[in-house]
Amino acid sequence: MEEQKKKKIWSIVKEISLYATIIVTGVFLIPNYVIAKNVVNGESMENTLYNEEQILTEMVSYRFGKPKRFDIIVFYRFFDEKNTNKSDKNAYEFYVKRIIGLPGERVRIEGDIIYINGKPLEEHYGKDPICDSGRAEEEITLGKDEYFVLGDNRGVSIDSRSSSVGNVKKDWILGKACARIYPFDKIGSIK
């Protein structure tokens, strides 16, 4: 009889441990290290993403590989580059943009043409032609861990053309936008 009590207690302890592991994984590990929900703020990614749409950001692949040209990323933009503490929610804001320039490349915008290493970039993501080259009017050489990003709505986007955003360091990238989860009639992967 005492052996049965021990087995029952051990069974309860194992079950509680399993539920605790599931809860810790679901509440802490997944949103902090695997996938996060973000909200698009503004019109800068139209016609791909719209204001207040909710997206899932996958945070694993860039730990094992590098971001690719045309990936849509979510990244931190720190208000003060001396304070890059991601746990300080007042130190940054999130941006959602498309990668155009990769580490080590030279980026320049002339008129509405984007040049990468002196060659025109063929892309079709821009909603409207580029009217303002910003700081990319002069050629920008990206560092070994820097990316040049643009919003798809080039007329209103504050992106790497602006000194307030500038080149995006790899450490600032939260992850790749992979799916839209709201509004419900647009649920699906992001192209």
Cβ atoms of 161 and 132 closer than 8 Å: yes
Residue 145 burial class via C-beta count within 10 angstroms: exposed 0-12, middle 13-18, buried 19 and up: middle
User: Does the annotation count 44 as an active-site position?
Assistant: yes
Token output for 28: 């802490």
The DSSP output letter for 26 is I
Q: What's residue 19's pLDDT?
A: 67
Catalytic residue among 37, 44, 87, 157: 44
Task: Give pLDDT tens digits for 60-88.
Answer: 999 889 999 999 999 988 777 776 766 77
Residue 176: closest CA among 160, 162, 189: 189
User: Does the annotation count 189 as an active-site position?
Assistant: no
Q: What's residue 186's pLDDT?
A: 92
Task: Give pLDDT tens digits for 111-161.
Answer: 989 999 999 999 988 888 898 999 999 999 999 999 999 999 999 999 999
Catalytic residue among 97, 157, 160, 176: 97
Q: What's residue 5's pLDDT?
A: 76
Q: Sorting pLDDT into bands at 50, 70 and 90, what band is 25?
A: low
Cβ atoms of 99 and 149 closer than 8 Å: yes
Is the bond leading into 47 cis (omega within 30 degrees of zero)?
Answer: yes
Q: What's residue 128's pLDDT?
A: 86
